[in-house]
Structure 1
């Protein structure tokens, strides 16, 4: 409840600040030549729209724990989309307007200092202030609007593959060239039974001819009903040595206030059973061996382990029992924060695979420059991280939640090839 209220408070303040500033700009730049009726209508809209948005958000954030079906999350995401469509262009325009005013003030000061009153100034025809503001401002406001349209229509389904080769001196020779497919954060309920939207990943994954497929949690948003019918998609995924999975923070049903503990347990068991129906071996604080040509590596999967407000069910010590004799070890853990807390420099795991962050479904990844709001929440939020001879890879996820879009952070399928050799990494 505390987290949802904080989210509501943040959104409400954002809406009020943006609309208050937009109203002041409207009064200063637009209102004067209007007739009384138009002025009254404009003022009314500046009042009623934020009130409607804030009341709607209050209802949604306070009702989310009472939700009893997957459809609620669809409505919640659509509300987020509407808010972004209204307020993100406004925010961009206000940023531009503020920048314009600062530059105009500096330019005017410079002109006043450079030219004296006695100098003759040649005046050229120039565009009016209002016309310049409206034309350039529209461009600024249109950019996020178009980005949102693309992110909803194309970006959230624009699956892409990242390839990475990792070398380890202690990798058994039989596993030299062993190919792993890493996927995460599917959030089936967000696809609303549109099975065809994920069918495309089957060919992408199977064309890689993987030795193993690892899924690092968040199969659903909250409910077992989200898994219904999806076995026809996920049973098509093929890997020579098996498909393995773990649970994420959304897979426990913790984001709903259930009527009884038994009801919550039935929901949870349905989610657990779905992994088996999909052909995955679910690892819950448990380790298994993968054997190839008489040699073995260890694979450990832990229950969700996170910092507050995310649940902490995982017991790494329990999960890694019996792995001491293996020369090479892989850990599946949903939350990348687990890496710094309990894994790196504290265990002998050579590679950890995680997800959870989604790259916040928004960011920039261009020619070596990478940024997302996720970096302010998670120390390690996307891609490959190395500490001496230990590696962690954070996958952006296949699904979406919160907003029905991905902008600059497309859904990801990771292909990792293990190589025997000096510790190192290179793109494939």
Structure 2
């Protein structure tokens, strides 16, 4: 309760401070009616919205919780991030304007252009951008790959967070259509199908069932799939939610590999798909049992699913696992990607946060995912569908 009140006070203070400062910077350029719209009506609407959220959100304890939180965050960011950027840049131009008046005028124009551009970018990211999927092709050579699995196509998906979107969300049907068009040999989902509640899957079971691969669909659980981030009336309710989650995943066509493995056989050749439950650094849970997942696999070529990429350096590299697939990071839903240049604040938390990594001929591929949590969009780094092609023709590389 104290945290909610603190968030309310900080939010109201931020709105009043930002809008007052913006008003003072722009008042001489605006007519009185426009001033009223910017400072009066606009600010009152957001203050009313913050108050409404403060009293409404605690009443939502179910799959809709993250949708409403995300909607509020998206609208707030859409208007107040550009405002904040303009204020900072305009104040900087005022300081430079002490040197020459023309610098002040040019600086204010640049600040306005950047702020408007930021508004357009955020608007794009929370509308079309959140499901403007990028197909990412990754080819990895393993000399030990059995011949029958040459050019084996894995489609990796991760972090759908189904409860973050409404049941009318266009992104999931489009995702299924794009994945099927890729004709994968196997689909591997590396965790966080939901935010907390098994019922988040229910509206999408039929659509997810239409997603097909030659050898099937396999999945592991991520930290959000256990229902750890909400209040339950009893441990039995939480356990029932998890049981329902497992059943819904099965109904959607996924074979869950929680500390288990499964053989894929073609002719005389076999590879294994293995998976562990979530294993992460605190505060994230460590339910994964890697040794159990690999029992009986011996020296067969193995692809391992582990939701959190931290697991790779902490434990997985001690085992003979050629390829590990992870998700979890979302690449923080924010970054820059221009050619070979890529940056995201996620890299300061996770050394392996997005894409392919190698250590002594063992590989980790981290998916930035297709869903979102909190902020309902992706800025700079598009959601990605990863197509991983396994080959043993290393001389061709």
Which is worse superposed, 198-207 or 262-271? 198-207
Task: Quote the Cα distance in structure 2 between the aligned partners of 1:13 and 1:163.
Answer: 44
Deviations 1:384-424 (A, max 9, x none): 11112111111111111101112222221110110114499
Shift in Å at residue 324 of structure 1? 2.0
Report whether the alignment pairs 1:335 with 2:332.
Answer: no
Task: Quote the Cα distance in structure 1 between the aligned partners of 2:282 and 2:295.
Answer: 26
Contact 2:180/2:212, CA 8 A, preserved across alignment: yes
Deviations 1:186-228 (A, max 9, x none): 1112232226432222232122221111011111111111111
Task: Quote the Cα distance in structure 2 between the aligned partners of 1:320 and 1:91.
Answer: 51
- TM-score (normalizing by structure 2): 0.88
Pairs within 5 Å for 1:23-422: 23-24=20-21, 26-27=23-24, 30=27, 63=58, 67-105=60-98, 107-108=99-100, 135-194=109-168, 196-326=170-300, 328-344=301-317, 346-422=318-394
Shift in Å at residue 60 of structure 1? 7.7
Task: Quote the Cα distance in structure 2 between the aligned partners of 1:137 and 1:196.
Answer: 35
* Counterpart for residue 119 of structure 1: none
Contact 1:8/1:57, CA 8 A, preserved across alignment: no
Kindly report the root-mean-square deviation, in angstroms, between the aligned alpha carbons of the 2 structures.
3.3
When the two structures are aligned, how many residues end up with a matched partner?
397
Q: Secondary structure at the match of 1:229?
A: helix
Deviations 1:347-384 (A, max 9, x none): 11111101111121121111211112222222211111
Deviations 1:133-162 (A, max 9, x none): 654432222111111111111101111200
Which is worse superposed, 141-150 or 9-18? 9-18
Contact 2:157/2:367, CA 8 A, preserved across alignment: yes
* Counterpart for residue 120 of structure 1: none
Judging changes above 3 Å, is the alpha-carbon distance between structure 1 residues 42 and 196 closer, same or farther for their aligned structure 2 residues? closer
Task: Quote the Cα distance in structure 2 between the aligned partners of 1:297 and 1:11.
Answer: 54
Deviations 1:257-293 (A, max 9, x none): 1111111111111111112111111011111221112
Structure with larger Rg? 1
Judging changes above 3 Å, is the alpha-carbon distance between structure 1 residues 25 and 172 closer, same or farther for their aligned structure 2 residues? same
Contact 1:195/1:233, CA 8 A, preserved across alignment: no
Deviations 1:242-269 (A, max 9, x none): 2111111111111111111111111111
Task: Quote the Cα distance in structure 1 between the aligned partners of 2:344 and 2:9.
Answer: 22
Structure 1 gaps, min length 5: 109-125
Task: Quote the Cα distance in structure 2 between the aligned partners of 1:175 and 1:38.
Answer: 66
